[in-house]
Structure 1
Amino acid sequence: MATSLILFNKPYGVQSQFRDDNGNAHTTLAPYFTDKSLRIAGRLDATSEGLLILTNDGQVNKAITQPPRATQFKNSNKQGKTYLVQVEGLVSAAQLAELSGGVMLKDGKTLPAVAKVVAEAELPIQLWQRNPPIRERKNIPTSWLMLTIYEGKNRQVRRMTAHVGLPCLRLIRWSVAGFELGELGVGKFVHVHLTNEDCRRLGITH
């Protein structure tokens, strides 16, 4: 069976699963994909948007989803996951430094991350209208962060920004392990052919 790698721009409100086991109101991936061999390489919360990778190759799935141990972090081939994060408030240098250095959460300290403030006009994508729109409060500004993490704790990005006093309003995953969302429309997907460079980056043989 040929390797299938799919990049999907997951809309807000869609669960990263094919079956609704809990009777939730959220839509699943079933309306978008019929190939039963596909597995999700790194889940994305229903209330988060952006890049979701699906593949039928277990080796590829493991390379993308298995985070490096802290002792292996500096030598890891993984390029991490980058999120575009709209937060409430203005971001201070101290908050950026805390996000970058690692945040102590209930389930342990996060690995060092890459965090920077970006103007909305400098985001790498053209933002689309979210339904429902984010909550807005008068007299409270919002900011955008580009945050790259190298692990996958539950709701990690939201918890990190909340910990430093920056409640998350909108969360869009831009890239995973070197694969980028690009100009992919909401609810659209594209099949990707793995190049030799992709395989080297993921540390797999094909």
Structure 2
Amino acid sequence: MQHAHRYFMINKPYGMLSQFVTRFEGEQHLPMLGALNFAFPEGTHAVGRLDKESEGLLLLTTNAKVTRLLFLSKVPHARTYLVKVKNKITADKLELLRSGVPIQVKGGEYYKTTPCQAEIVEKPAGLFERPGEPDDYGKSSWLLITLTEGKFHQIRKMVQYVRHPCLRLVRISIEDLALGEIAPGEVHEIDEETFFMKLKLEGGRQAAPPRYNG
């Protein structure tokens, strides 16, 4: 009998790897998804990744098709991030980020990022504090950036290019699936219909069992 797939949202804490099993030497001491206080079913995996310094919305599922549908499809899907950068950013630097900047990608080549949404915001009142976050004494800016692509460390490289190094990076939503008030380390399970609807995904759902009309 085929079991129904399951879908989860977590608020990945700072310093945690987006995986259940270590892939490289030297990572064994770092916390992984298995350290969360939740009994995930066999076959659960992360959909995409957040590096260990990044925080926020991470999706997990037992459905192997979701990563391809969300991150490898021809239809772009929006991801929104709260980004704390060093020093006060100016309007011209913000416009550079919006229009696209060159970043180095795999193989050492340079790639110009596609136009994106970027705006200066106040630090959200409901944002969870990060343990050990240094005090910047007001010498920083908070940005809200929405991308429809995801090159390796893309946002960090983008803000570094405009000379505002990233101090904190929090993914708050993927399409209409938002982090909301999920605390760091918390796990929320959602149903398949809501998951696919809010992510604006087509295909990949498990077929409903046939009804018996006898």
Q: Is this a same-fold pair by TM over 0.5? A: yes
In structure 1, distance between residues paired with 2:192 and 2:203: 11
Q: Deviations over 1:138-187 (max 9, x none)?
A: 5x611100001111111111111110111110110101132110110110
Equivalenced residue count is 193
| Identity over aligned pairs, percent | 33
In structure 2, distance between residues paired with 1:95 and 1:64: 30
* 1:142-153 aligned within 5 A: 142-153=140-151
Which residue of structure 2 aligns with residue 127 of structure 1?
Answer: 127
* Superposed displacement of residue 80, structure 1: 1.2
Which residue of structure 2 aligns with residue 204 of structure 1?
Answer: 203
Q: CA RMSD in A?
A: 2.1
1:6 partner amino acid: F
Which residue of structure 1 aligns with residue 8 of structure 2?
Answer: 6
Which residue of structure 1 aligns with residue 108 of structure 2?
Answer: none
* Superposed displacement of residue 199, structure 1: 7.2
In structure 2, distance between residues paired with 1:169 and 1:60: 30
Judge conservation of contact 2:119–2:144 (CA < 8 Å) in 1: yes
Which residue of structure 1 aligns with residue 210 of structure 2?
Answer: none
Q: Deviations over 1:76-133 (max 9, x none)?
A: 3x4411110011111211111111111111221112111011011xx3x612221221
Which residue of structure 2 aligns with residue 23 of structure 1?
Answer: 26
* 1:70-149 aligned within 5 A: 76=75, 78-107=76-105, 108-120=111-123, 123=124, 126-134=126-134, 136=136, 141-149=139-147
In structure 2, distance between residues paired with 1:91 and 1:11: 26
In structure 1, distance between residues paired with 2:193 and 2:43: 21
Judge conservation of contact 2:18–2:51 (CA < 8 Å) in 1: yes
Which residue of structure 2 aligns with residue 72 of structure 1?
Answer: none
Change (3 A) 1:180 1:94: same
* Superposed displacement of residue 200, structure 1: 7.9
Which residue of structure 2 aligns with residue 44 of structure 1?
Answer: 50
In structure 1, distance between residues paired with 2:97 and 2:71: 22
* Superposed displacement of residue 62, structure 1: 1.5
Which residue of structure 2 aligns with residue 185 of structure 1?
Answer: 183
* Superposed displacement of residue 67, structure 1: 5.6
Runs of 4+ in structure 1 off by over 3 angstroms are none
In structure 2, distance between residues paired with 1:93 and 1:18: 41
Change (3 A) 1:202 1:14: same
Extract unaligned runs of 5+ from structure 2: 106-110, 206-214
Extract unaligned runs of 5+ from structure 1: 69-75
2:116 partner amino acid: A
Q: Which of 1 and 2 has greater Rg?
A: 2
Secondary structure of 1:175 counterpart = strand
2:175 aligned with 1:172: no
* Superposed displacement of residue 189, structure 1: 0.9
2:8 partner amino acid: I
1:5 partner amino acid: Y
2:197 partner amino acid: D
Q: Name the TM-score, length of structure 2 as normaliser.
A: 0.82
